[in-house]
Amino acid sequence: MSILSKFVQFLVVIAAVNGSPLERRGVGTLPAHEIVGLPEAVPNNMTGLLYKTYQPFIHVLNGCLPFPAVDINGNIKYDNEGLPITGGEENDCSSSVGQIYARGLQGENGSYAILYSVYMPVDSPSPGLGHRHEWEGVIIWLANSSATTADNILAVCPSAHGGWICSTEFLLSETGALLSYFSIWPVNHQMGLSAVKGGQQPLVAWESMSDLVKGALQTGNFSTATVPFKDSTFRENIATATF
Q: Is the pLDDT of residue 117 over 80?
A: yes
Exposed / middle / buried, residue 154 (Cβ in 10 Å: 0-12, 13-18, 19+): middle
How far is 72 from 82, CA to CA, in rounded Å? 19
CB 166 within 8 A of CB 157: yes
| Mean confidence (pLDDT) of the chain | 82
Pairing of strands 131-142, 57-60: unpaired
The predicted pLDDT at position 193 comes to 98
DSSP 115: E
Q: Is the pLDDT of residue 184 over 60?
A: yes
The predicted pLDDT at position 190 comes to 86
**Which segment of 25-39, 48-62, 205-219 scores lowest on mean pLDDT?**
25-39
Task: Give the containing element (helix H, strand E) for 190.
Answer: strand 190-193
How far is 165 from 136, CA to CA, in rounded Å? 12
How far is 60 from 23, CA to CA, in rounded Å? 39
Q: What is the pTM (predicted TM-score) of this model? A: 0.82
User: Which residues, in sequence order, are bridge partners of residue 105?
Assistant: 113
DSSP 149: S
The predicted pLDDT at position 162 comes to 83
Instruction: Name residues whose C-beta falls within 8 Å of residue 182's C-beta, 6 or more positions apart in sequence.
Output: 60, 61, 62, 63, 189, 190, 192
The predicted pLDDT at position 65 comes to 86
Residue 172 CA to its chain's centroid (Å): 22
What is the widest separation between alpha-carbon atoms in the chain?
Answer: 79
Closest CA to 85 of 135, 120, 127, 121: 127
Closest CA to 145 of 45, 44, 243, 50: 50
* Structure confidence by residue, pLDDT tens digits, 57-79: 999 988 888 999 999 999 987 54
The predicted pLDDT at position 79 comes to 43
Q: Kindly report the CA angle at 53 between 51 and 54, in degrees rounded to 5? A: 70
The residue-averaged pLDDT of 101-124 equals: 92
Exposed / middle / buried, residue 223 (Cβ in 10 Å: 0-12, 13-18, 19+): middle
